[in-house]
Structure 1
């Protein structure tokens, strides 16, 4: 159950949000700032400020045509943009390594991350820690600020850095800060949050979406992992594991459905709801909807995929098609069990289940290959009929309630395994890796392995376990494997390790010039 329509309960305080360094914001009365020393006064008002931050994350990761979640997936080798070559060109360009500084998708998600940061800054600045309740709100804001800055430095590299919202014209113009400095503040924020936040089990049932101690620890472990601070990483990730607050869903397929929402495997999750029952006349295009329109966007497209109802799927709009390489990776692993079945389906399996493939034909009647189709349907995060609202006048395509899982327990186990292995604790690395393999019904690694062999095993496991979850590309980059794996797809070493700094930021920020742009853009 969602928190009493929590994503509709956003007070005027949300107007404080704005893109980093936008001069246009300075041209109007900043009425969205907290306008008096009284607000927020009551605990209800204080709670509304943090609910507003969760709403911003829902918006940034699910905004139609500008989703941070989808953008993180597109450059990887497990998915193609899909649909048609001319449909949603900003997404197609991300997929094809044709992204430039004026791409509206990367511009929009930059804006979205900074809006969340700025709202968190306001909470941290303005709310006095006069009670345990308020201390928890501040701790949540610190953890969420840390996450959004981590996303920014991962995707863009060095970025402008604000821990206090600007109060003068000059304050809006900041240079790119070194990632090391931002990492330091991220770590401080997370350590502060960990000392205050409750365990997930201590949160009320209708508030399990809120950041818990385990969430902050998992984020911190990931931050350490990306810096190759192996001992620090497995120490804090080990605390998440030993807390016994989390576990693996017995049925891998449930992780992506209502049955697994905020469940045992959920460490950090962005919520969506179908309670509004949208139709074509009242859907909030432009990012104002509370359902997850990207599930519809990423469902298999009819009539190319015919008789989808035979596998319980409603036709979608054809984006995020699996690549042949992810199918081959499952084959190479010998993984054809529950994890495979809940992730992808081959064309032959689809036809055997009663489906049809209906390709377009050219003027001579010859079949034409579909754009980006390489022989697989995606089953993870797809358009299952039982995962949307079909009541009354609701349009099923517009009402998917599917939540994005930003961090789940399987990722924690695999991150811990990687850190243990790199820190020369082979036995602990195999132990955590084997937990993931057991759920996938694969043979476990029961004999000692060399560091190199275990490293490759962990990489392979992450590729399959986390397919289509926005991890693959950034794993390849941090491992130094992106050039070898992705250069046939257009990846250029020294350029594509990061997205470009948006041109709007360079144009509006006096402390950043074109010479400060990421290399190659």
Structure 2
């Protein structure tokens, strides 16, 4: 058989698959045992599907590319939790997309998700077609189900980014080349696509083995639990809200559910049943406290360290990212930032909104895992003999913490992290189940409460009361999902499907104004924090969690810490005074310890904060961080900004979520800047209304 793509010359014009040559030739296995093997180069799919082992290798290759970096980086922000701090402000695509400022041209649109997803869809279509022609066997049926599940995930990604998209469920060389719809496909109803892939997933759950029966060492391949979790998630999206419009007229865009309420109820029940199947299966659980770590901390430390024997019970599906051939840029930007040393110079280009950081209940162990109030920097010159420290940050530069560098393994490439990508967790199943129980029963149930309480108890906030009303309970689940899933790249579209995006954006904007003014819920938020100078071990596998600090509210103590000496001759006496404050707060400190105050509402680079760090020993890098400078060089407080809100909060054309327009920006427009972009090459593909 000749190369099916070379002989089908007409397919070269089909813009929905511009990367197909590369995609089909990159058939690396996503299984841990095969991650770093050379790519399978054969394009002769007839020979591939003559042998069940080579067919399996082809299916494993379908996992490659299911996570486009720009999607999980750019759409991982703007969720009222994670925000972009990338340099360039309003000229930067990440900052614009984070703030819902789109147009149909780069850099204000996401250009690669469309082609990347359809490339994988074509591979899965080839797999389903080729496998269906092979003699039936249990393994063949599993591989078909696996390919269909991967395909379902790709369509889910497309729909939550673009809404209605072209529907292609056969390989291109099995379609009619004379049909204009083959060359230039139109948008198809998302409801029809959802129904197709949900049916595929329901069938797959009856075929794909449980993890315990699979023989897999990790959850990098889909198992029954992973497929059920994916089924539940997609069913909730299919039943939930999305930006809809008349595909014939291109008008009437508004947030709504599908019009068939009976089907909506069915979809919630499908999600409920899928979650119940996992919960009642009894083989999955949340990672619990161990080795001096809280359960949430143990989960992410071991995940980053690739100790999957610890995390397999909770992480139901993850994408393999280890080895020279598979390592992606995932997590490169979601870190605490580092300047030199073992970790190299890595700029943190995402930060955590302080309103989120301050939202946690006292004792919630998730805060210091999901957020870091420090960045890694050197004290003096940055040379090999220097000391690296965990530099305490201000409210305008709290960083993401789940994928911090010290918790990870040493990278195999300078631009990568060797971090697997978590897609589905048991905690998600528990919270989805609490949500479906609440919806289907008109309010919370004992079973739903039990699921939600597993998540809360693990976090250490089991004593926080649960609301009883249906709407209040749904709001509690929204907040719980924020606390649990920060930085895992689903919160933004979760808020959309729950029709909470507009209200959460408005609430966050107001919260940030209140914080800036030190009013409302933030009237008593401490302005000053006393950080301890702590060294960074500069080793991969460092279990370090959080920088020690004391909030200072006593006026006498504030007066003491505010008189930062400008001469090094007075530094020793100043440190003695700071240690006395520490002792007065019941903490142990020694004569060798050094502390430094930080005004949390000022910029990291303010004169006071810089002088305070110099008094503790910071020299060359006393006012620098390896973080996008559009945020950390700015204050949070309005009083600290001359009586007006800092521009990143409101004003100046680049305040929080400055581009958000309800019933328009919940989805992204198709790119139309140049050849290779959907709208340029496909005359039948209509644009998102309003662009």
* Same-fold call, TM cutoff 0.5: yes
Q: Does 1:387 align with 2:408?
A: yes
Q: Does 1:218 align with 2:229?
A: yes
* Whole-Å separation in 2 of the counterparts to 1:151 and 1:292: 18
* Whole-Å separation in 2 of the counterparts to 1:342 and 1:465: 10
- Three-state SS of the structure 1 residue aligned to 2:372 is strand
* Whole-Å separation in 2 of the counterparts to 1:318 and 1:461: 25
Q: Cα gap change, 1:447/1:173 in structure 2, threshold over 3 Å: closer, same or farther?
A: closer
* Aligned twin of 1:294: 330
| Among 111, 118, 123, the residue aligned to 1:114 | 118
* Aligned twin of 1:374: 396
Q: Cα gap change, 1:446/1:134 in structure 2, threshold over 3 Å: closer, same or farther?
A: same
Q: Cα gap change, 1:314/1:357 in structure 2, threshold over 3 Å: closer, same or farther?
A: farther
The 5-angstrom pairing of residues 123-272 of structure 1 reads: 123-127=127-131, 128=134, 130-167=136-173, 168=177, 170=180, 171-206=182-217, 208-226=219-237, 227-228=239-240, 229-250=267-288, 251-256=295-300, 257-259=304-306, 261=308, 263-272=312-321
* Aligned twin of 1:81: 84
Q: CA deviation at 1:205?
A: 3.4
* Aligned twin of 1:365: none
Q: CA deviation at 1:272?
A: 0.8
- Report the more deviating stretch, 205-214 or 407-416: 205-214
The 5-angstrom pairing of residues 317-336 of structure 1 reads: 317-330=347-360, 334-336=361-363
* Whole-Å separation in 2 of the counterparts to 1:499 and 1:145: 21
Q: CA deviation at 1:225?
A: 1.6
| Among 415, 423, 433, the residue aligned to 2:432 | 415
* Aligned twin of 1:22: 15
* Whole-Å separation in 2 of the counterparts to 1:422 and 1:20: 46
* Whole-Å separation in 2 of the counterparts to 1:136 and 1:446: 44
* Aligned twin of 2:513: none
* Whole-Å separation in 2 of the counterparts to 1:183 and 1:190: 10
- Report the more deviating stretch, 255-264 or 219-228: 255-264
Q: TM-score, normalised by structure 2?
A: 0.61
- Three-state SS of the structure 2 residue aligned to 1:293 is coil
* Whole-Å separation in 2 of the counterparts to 1:447 and 1:482: 22
Q: Does 1:505 align with 2:657?
A: no
* Aligned twin of 1:476: 495
Q: Cα gap change, 1:73/1:20 in structure 2, threshold over 3 Å: closer, same or farther?
A: farther
Q: Is residue 121–residue 165 contact of structure 1 (8 Å, CA) maintained in 2?
A: yes
Q: Is residue 209–residue 223 contact of structure 2 (8 Å, CA) maintained in 1?
A: yes
Q: Cα gap change, 1:383/1:428 in structure 2, threshold over 3 Å: closer, same or farther?
A: same
Q: Does 1:464 align with 2:462?
A: no
Q: CA deviation at 1:471?
A: 1.9
* Whole-Å separation in 2 of the counterparts to 1:254 and 1:26: 39
- Three-state SS of the structure 2 residue aligned to 1:296 is coil
Q: CA deviation at 1:45?
A: 1.0
- Three-state SS of the structure 2 residue aligned to 1:294 is coil
* Whole-Å separation in 2 of the counterparts to 1:131 and 1:212: 18
Higher relative contact order (CA 8 A, sep 6+): 1
* Aligned twin of 1:405: 422
Rg (Cα) greater in structure = 2
Q: Is residue 129–residue 138 contact of structure 1 (8 Å, CA) maintained in 2?
A: no
* Whole-Å separation in 1 of the counterparts to 2:474 and 2:46: 54
Q: TM-score, normalised by structure 1?
A: 0.79
Q: Is residue 153–residue 179 contact of structure 1 (8 Å, CA) maintained in 2?
A: yes
Q: CA deviation at 1:61?
A: 3.5
Q: Cα gap change, 1:302/1:267 in structure 2, threshold over 3 Å: closer, same or farther?
A: closer
Q: Cα gap change, 1:248/1:355 in structure 2, threshold over 3 Å: closer, same or farther?
A: same
- Report the more deviating stretch, 226-235 or 96-105: 96-105
- Three-state SS of the structure 2 residue aligned to 1:494 is coil
Q: Is residue 269–residue 403 contact of structure 1 (8 Å, CA) maintained in 2?
A: yes
Q: CA deviation at 1:448?
A: 7.1
* Aligned twin of 1:316: 346
* Whole-Å separation in 2 of the counterparts to 1:145 and 1:136: 14
* Whole-Å separation in 1 of the counterparts to 2:364 and 2:16: 54
- Report the more deviating stretch, 398-407 or 252-261: 252-261
- Report the more deviating stretch, 481-490 or 424-433: 481-490
Q: Cα gap change, 1:435/1:337 in structure 2, threshold over 3 Å: closer, same or farther?
A: same
* Whole-Å separation in 2 of the counterparts to 1:468 and 1:31: 31
Q: Cα gap change, 1:437/1:191 in structure 2, threshold over 3 Å: closer, same or farther?
A: same
- Report the more deviating stretch, 423-432 or 264-273: 423-432
Q: CA deviation at 1:202?
A: 1.3
- Three-state SS of the structure 1 residue aligned to 2:110 is helix
User: How far does the alpha carbon of each residue in 1:195-236 deviate from its partner, in whole angstroms, 9 at most, with x for none?
Assistant: 210011112234631111111111111122221432222122
Q: CA deviation at 1:455?
A: 1.6
| Among 439, 442, 450, the residue aligned to 2:469 | 450
Q: Cα gap change, 1:416/1:106 in structure 2, threshold over 3 Å: closer, same or farther?
A: same
User: How far does the alpha carbon of each residue in 1:100-137 deviate from its partner, in whole angstroms, 9 at most, with x for none?
Assistant: 22336622111111111111000011112521111111
Point out the structure with the larger helix share. Answer: 1
Q: Is residue 434–residue 444 contact of structure 1 (8 Å, CA) maintained in 2?
A: no
Cα RMSD (Å) of the superposition?
3.4
| Among 338, 343, 346, the residue aligned to 2:373 | 346
